[in-house]
Each structure stands twice: as structure tokens, then as C-alpha cells.
A and B are shown apart, each in its own frame.
Chain A
Amino acid sequence: MPSRILLAALGIEAVVFAAIAPNFATVANVFEVMRLSVEVGLLAVAMTPILVTGGIDLSVGAMMGLAAVIFGAAYRDWSLPIGMAAAAALLAGCGGGVLNAALISALDIPPLIVTLGSLSLFRGLAEGITHGATNYSGFPPTVLRIGQGYLWGIVPAQLPILLAIVLAYAIVLHRSVIGRAWYAIGFAASGARYAGIPVARRVGLAYVLSGLVSSLAAIVYVAHLGQARADAGTGYELDAITAVVLGGTSVFGGRGTIWGTLGGLFAIAVLQNGLHLAALPSELIGVLVGTLLIGTIAIDRMRRRSRALGGRLQEEDTIVRNSQVAVLCAAVIAGALIVAGTNVWLVRSIESNVRGAGAAVPASRRAHRPVVAVMPKAKGDPYFVSCRAGAEEAAQELGVDLIWDGPTSLDAAKQNELVENWITRGVDVIAVAVENRAAISTVLRKARERGIRVLTWDADAEPDARDFFVNQATAEGIANALTDEAARLLGGAGDFAIITGALTAANQNEWIAFIGKRVSEKHSGLKLATIRPSDDDRDKAFAETQTILKVYPSVKLMMAISAPAVPGAAEAVRQAGRSDVRVIGLSLPNINKPYVHAGVVQTVVLWNTRDLGYLTVYAGALAADRKLPAGTRAIEAGRLGAISIRGSEIVLGPPLLFNKENIDRFDF
């Protein structure tokens, strides 16, 4: 059973959110919370017996990625029937589990090391199979129904899968010889061996099952998003472990229950859901989950200790001396003060960058002010931070309530979750910068059915899933601008290299495809030497560029197509003293100013992101007032003047080229 502390926390969450979050306490929302926890829930349930044996499995998220890709490849590339494709994915999951199990139980290597290695291996295989770019979609409706449909009009279709797995695991763990063996191994592995338990086989079984359940979670994930990509399930291992540990399972083994895991899972899911419905910023989730984790477990430990003291003094380390408690409290308070202090300092020093962050949180719904909910692809990304400034400007000008929230890192599943929550909350307009086209469209259609006006911006969904698309520049336009600029700087001929974001980033892969097309059509003198990933990390872009400059000395131009990669590549070129190498890319003016002025970076291609945010909210406000019917040809958008509409695309204008002459005129 989940500990009483956890149940209390869950209860408090429910009461608080019922009070402050609109439509939180409804049956539909309860089911929605459950739907969104199915994938992580499956992983967490399978993780429970592994932690009970004293092990850990960090490879579950990567296994999801591999299984999703195999599922997609089997169906689309090898044209297997869908049932066989699912079987292939499950088989791959089993295979991955067997690999982990063999290394852990047969060779006796610590599970942390094995699964750390297989995490890279599985994710890497998924990236290799898809070349990072392939994106399997077009699954038959029977599959999609599992992830998106409802039974009896209200119960999410994937819920029975979670229930079945939960029951199966509960029976095996709590009611069978195998389960008792897992507990015995967790308490004392050598003791268990002397008691005649086949330790290696029982431990191995837990990992094989975990691989199998991970691949099942992958199928549910694919059905939910309608798309299979190599980055499926990134970071899910930590979500799963958090849920299991929060549920009272000891990482030292020997203690924990499936029911506790479910408690932990829902404590996190309800927290996320409630924060979204109350329109509180997503970053709070991390902070609150951390607090919840420490708080619940600390209180639980304290209670156990005092109970142990009330009985008899067992072990030396169960005694909490007052002095120790005092030290602990002092340390916690000191830590909190330091963190708070540095934060105040930080905020003061970068205040100019944060324009009215608090204005995004409407305390309650004021009468008749339309609520426009705008979602970036990722919240912390400087690109979207600069869009937000424009969005807030428009919101203030027009007197609408703006909710600005999104995933803290690129995550298609989180985007869907947030849209679902906004539908439940009941906003007037939803505007999404789409991370994954196929994935988001279903839920956007649902929003339209409920009478919510839907816009997309920055990147589009399926045309029938939204009313209008605020289009800043087409992928082809960006690729052409970059390629033409490269050809101009190289004098029509020469080698160049591309630094992209993550290998799986959809936008970047689309640009790369168009860059290749433009090169072969118009600039046959250009040659693409290599493409390297930066994972949107400035330091990685720096290291990759250093290596490229040495391995491909003929490369005379670096094209970086992820915002943090341009300054990274520029710094590498500058430090290498290679004044013969040009750097161009797609990035933000501010972080590139020093390099543009130093002549390292020649051109940065982008559009005015502030105006993009401004136009999105402006169009959103018009749509909320029903002043933007289908077929509108042009709108008057405040300080931007007349903006033309092509079909259902509101066009911001051509991309901007920033260079030495004009870059100081832009501040974002």
C-alpha cells in the first residue's frame, strides 16, 4: 500500500487543485490524467520488481525508442501486417531485456553500468535505423484507436492495457513464489541462494519483463501520437524511477509494492495536470516533484525511525539525535537561503530579459476577457523566450489574458498533454508551435470540436486540425536563403559542413532535405562534407566543429542550423584561428552579436521572432472575437500594419538576414 504520507499528499493536491484549477474535479479530467500516465505507468510498474531486487534499469526509455522505430519500420518498410509489426517490436523488447539480463545476472556486472551502456546502445540503434530523420506515420486506424479512442465514450482505450499489466505484476509480485523470490533477493542475495532460489534466473526475469513491457509502452506511445520516431520515450526512465521511489520502494531492494508505485505515479500526474489547469508555469513541476520526493521519503523515514525507537533500540543508525536533526534543518535552511539569494541576484541581473513574466498567470478568469493559450515548442529556448516578449506586448495592447506555457524541453507527448489540459480548462483560443505534426493534430481537432479556436504558429499541424497557421517562413524559404548565402560567400564552389540540432529534430531534418535539393538544383559547385549533431548544446557544437575543421580541412564554411550551435561553431573557428572559414546559420541576433562584429559569423538567418509572437496573439485575439472567419484575405495587425493571408496561412514576411550592418537594430 502507498504510505499514508503519499496518500495525504495526493489528497492535498486534489483539494488544492479542485479549489484553484477550473474543471479539475470532473470525471473526464480524472480519465484524462489516467490516459496521460499510461506509458510512464507501464515502465514504472515493470521497474518496481527490479528495484525490489536491488537493481535498476535505466534503459527503458531508450528501449521504447528502439521498439517504436522497429514497430514503424516493420509496418512501413518491411510491409508486415500490423500484428506482425507489433510482435516484432515486442520481440525486440524481449531481446533488449535478455541482453540486459545476461550481462547482469550471468556476468554479474552491476545493473547501473549495464543499463547505462544499453541506454546508449538502444537509443543509438534507433537513431541509426532511422538515420535520425525517418518518421514513421500513417498507422492504421485500429492502432490509433488504442492510443486516442475511448471505450464507452469516456474510458481511454489504453487504460485496460495498463490495468492488465498492473494486475499481472501485482499477482506475480505479491501472490507468487517468483515475487517472494524477488523480495528475498533484494533483502540478501546470497541468503536467497542458500535458500535454494535460482537468483540469476529470477533477477534476469525481471529485466526481460521490463524490456517486454517497455516495448508494449512504445506501441501505446506510437498509437497515442500516431508517429514513431527514434526519440520516443526520451527521459522516461527518470519519470518512471521517480514514480516508483515516491511510492515507497526502497532503492536498496527488499521493500516496495505495485500499489505504492501507482500512488507515486498519480501523485506526479495529478500535480502536472493541476498545474496546467491552473495555468501555472511548467517549471514549477520539476521543483515541486523534487520537493514531494524528498518530503515524502524524509517524513516516511522519520516515522519509521520513531516507531523503531518506540519499540526497542534495534540498530545504532535508527537513532536520530537531536543534534543531527538540528544540523539537518540548518543545512536545509542554509541551502534554501543560498539558492533563494542567488536567484534574487540572478533575477536582478537579467531583469531586462524577463518582461513581465508574472503577467502570464491570470489569477482567475476575469469577466469576458478572452483567454489565449499559446504554446512554444520548448519554454527555455531563447528563440521562444524572444517570441514571448512580442506575445505579451500584444496581449497587453488588446486586453486579453495570455497563458504562455509549454514543455521545458522538446517533447511531443508533453505538448499533447498540455493541449488536453487546456481543453479541459476551457480556454478561448489555443495557438501551438507544433513539434510533431501527426501527433498533435488529433488533439487539436478535438479542441476545435469543443468550439475552441485553434491556431498554429512557427510550425504547422495538419491543415484540417487548425483554423489558421501563422507562418513565419517556409522550410524551403529558410533552406534556400541559407544555401544561397553559402554559395555567395564561397564564390559558387567549395565544401561546407552542417551542424544540426538533435539528429532526430524534425525541423532541422526538413531544412537539410531542402538544402540538399537547392544545392543539386542551383549550386552544383557546393559540396556537403558532413552533418554532425549538436543536441542544441553550445559546447557540443564547439567540440564537433573543432573536429570537423581537422578531419575535413577543405571545409570552408560551417552552416549551423540550431540557435545555440552558431555561437559554438563560431567560437571553435575563432579559437582555431581559421580566418578562411566562414560561419553562417539560423540563430538569434543577441547571442551572435560578438561574433558578427568580430567578422567570424557572416550572416544569421532568421525572422523577427518578437513580431511572430505579437502576430500570433493578435490573430488569436481576433479569432476569439470571431473576427477571423475562414476566407479572410488580410488583417490589420497593430504595429505590424496590414498582414496578408494566403489560403489559411497568415504570412509574417520573408526571412531576415542579419549581418554587421543591421544586427544592432534587433534585440532578441
Chain B
Amino acid sequence: MRREWSVAIAIGALAAALALVAPSYFSAENLRDIFLVNMPVLVAAIGTTLVILTGEIDISVGSAFAVCSVAAGVAAKAGMPTALAGLTACAVGAAAGAVNGALVAYAGIPSIVVTLAAMVALRDGLRWTTQGAWIADLPPRFQWLGVAQSTFPVVAGLASGLLVVAFAWAMRNLAAGRAVYATGSNAQAARLASIDTAFVKLAVFTAGGALTGLAALLNSVRFNQIPSNTGIGLEMKVIAAVVVGGAAITGGRGTFTGTVLGVMLLGAIGPALTFFGVSAQWERALQGAIILAAVTVDAARAGLSRTALVGA
């Protein structure tokens, strides 16, 4: 839980500074807006956490997000009810994830290679088929999942909260969850303990793809049109949130609490800098510096405690 505390402290420091300089940041309206903007990132980050826990990586999330968004829009336009359109998005995401997973688990190709290829191919494939056209004239019941605009944040909050809690619980208490950790900690040992590590990897990529589809749906329903070039750079946002949240990129270590905190920190920084009145030109540099500072402090502390241990 070490890294989780570092991130929580960073969020606390940011919140304290905001409370002093720009207390209006904490208006219910602003918090709701920030939550809605970052909720798709959170849902996609759950999937990426699973993938990273097994020691793999998925950088095709942004491209898959775009494909799923367009799929959901096309399905809704074809007259499907919103639930079915959502399922379509999840299914398309799961299929893309399953192909990635199969290539990683059964063909033994490194995940960064597989998903790099998927990222480029899906993005350019989508550009080719849509020719950049947006999906417009969506049926009115598609927006806000058919509920009122004011109730949507509640629905979305409950849905994503439930999802996080369910995954956190399952990863702790179910055999399947432990198998994910075991695969990421030491695949060889896990195999000897009769865990089908290849299947575990296929499963996490598929689940990650389905969650990307869900994220795409939750994002698409906030608007009445779907751009076909959406989600560019989403994979970097998601991966940054997960690793800042303390998940080890080598697998086997990381929690959903950490991921939630990571999404919170990175999602809060952007608007916070505007509230502080920082000019947009320096924003990206500050974001990079904050990420580096967070992980450096953490690593330095780990180094100190290690020295202390050796000294004792």
C-alpha cells in the first residue's frame, strides 16, 4: 500500500492548495464534471490494471476505444436499443482484446508488439472505413442512456463504483483473481501450481477489451454525435494512471485502490492548473514533472527504507 499512500498524499496536497487558492474547485458542479470526464478513463483503467497485473501491456486501448465508440453509434443508429448497442461495443472490444490475448498467450509474441500493431492497424483501418466522417443523428434515447441528464451522473457513478468494488473484491477473494496475481508474479511457478497462465492472459485481454467497449459507451452517451478520431492518446493516460497508482509494470503487484487514486490525481491536475491560472503552454510540462516527482519520491523513500534495513 506504500505507493497508494504517496498518491493519496499528492492528491491531498493538491486539494489543500486548491482550497486555499481556488475554493470554487470543490463546487458540486465542478466535481461532477471532472468525474464524468474521467469516468471512461477509470473504466478503461480497470481493464489495463488487469493486463498490467499479469505482466503484460496493452497500448491499443485508444484505438479500440474509437472502434467501439463508432460501433456503438452505428448500432444505435441501426435502431438497436441502447443496451444492445452497448453490448455491441463491448463485444467488438472483447473481440479485439481476444485477438491480442490469443497472439500474446498462444503465439508467444510480446504484448507490446501485438498491441502496437493493433493500435496502428485499428486506427488506420477505422480512418479508412469512416473516411473521417462522424456518426451523427443518433436517436435521442441514446444520449444519457435514456435517463435524464441530471440522473446520469448518479447512474454512471454507481455503475463505475460497483465495477471497481466488484473487481477489487474478486481480485482479492476469488481464485480467478489470485490466478491473475500469480501469473504476473511468477508465470513458471503459477503453471506448476496448475494455473493455466495462457488462458489467464487471454482472459485479461478479453476483459480489458470489453471494459474499453463499456468505457466507449459511457463516453459516447454524453454527446449526440460520435467523432471517428476519438480516444487518441487514451492509452497513455490510462497506463500513466495505473502505474502512478503503484502497479508494477513487471506484473504481480498493484491494486484497484491505487488505480482509482491514479486516475483521480491525473484527472484532477488538468482542470486544477486552469483554476490556478497556469497558462496552457506550461501545462504539459507541469503534468510530466508531477508524474516524475510522484514516482521519484516514492522510489527515493523505498531506497531509504532499504538502506535503513541493511543498516539495521
Contact = CB atoms under 8 A, between A and B. Distances in A.
A324 B197 CA distance: 13
Interface string B17-39: 00000101001011001000100
Contact of A338 (B27, B95, B128): B95
Nearest to A252: B110
A316 B191 contact: yes
B107 A301 contact: yes
Given A108-B299, A245-B113, A346 B121 contact: no
Contact of B117 (A294, A327, A350): A294
Best-buried of A127, A293, A380, A593 by chain B (most CB within 10 Å): A380
Contacts of A564: 227, 229
Interface residues of A, number: 103
A285 B302 CA distance: 45
Interface stretch (A25-33, A472-480, A540-548, A658-666): A540-548
Interface string A93-118: 00000000001000111101110111
Contacts of A128: 281-282, 285
Contact of A380 (B113, B131, B191, B275): B131
Contact of B274 (A107, A346, A551, A591): A551
Nearest to B101: A331
A564 B95 CA distance: 29
A594 interface: yes
Contacts of B130: 346, 350, 380
Contacts of A342: 67, 71, 74, 92
B172 to A, nearest CB: 24
B15 interface: no
Contacts of B198: 324
A243 to B, nearest CB: 11
Interface string A579-611: 000000000001101100000000000000000
B178 interface: no
Nearest to B91: A338
B116 A242 contact: yes
Q: Is the interface of A mostly helix, strand, loop or mixed?
A: helix
Contacts of A535: 232-233
Interface residues of B, number: 93
Contacts of A56: 112
Interface string A114-150: 1011111111110110111000000000000000000
A347 interface: yes
Given A286-B124, A379-B127, A332 B132 contact: no
Nearest to A343: B129
Nearest to B274: A547
A571 interface: yes
B303 A408 contact: no
A331 B201 CA distance: 14
B95 A116 contact: no
Nearest to B287: A120
Given A342-B92, A547-B274, A251 B110 contact: yes
Interface string B227-246: 11110110010011001100
Contact of B299 (A107, A281, A536, A590): A107
Interface of A: 56, 103, 107-110, 112-114, 116-125, 127-128, 130-132, 238, 241-242, 245, 250-252, 281, 283-287, 289-291, 293-294, 297-298, 301-302, 305, 316-317, 324-325, 327-328, 331-332, 334-335, 338-339, 342-343, 345-347, 349-350, 353-354, 357, 379-382, 384-385, 408, 503, 530-533, 535-539, 542-544, 546-548, 550-551, 564, 567, 571, 575-576, 590-591, 593-594
6 cross-chain pairs, A with B, having the tightest CB-CB distances, nearest first: A286-B124, A124-B285, A120-B288, A290-B121, A121-B288, A124-B284
Given A328-B103, A331-B106, 20 more contacts: A103-B296, A107-B303, A116-B236, A123-B284, A124-B287, A127-B281, A128-B285, A291-B121, A294-B109, A327-B102, A350-B135, A535-B232, A539-B219, A546-B33, A550-B24, A551-B274, A564-B227, A576-B29, A591-B225, A594-B225
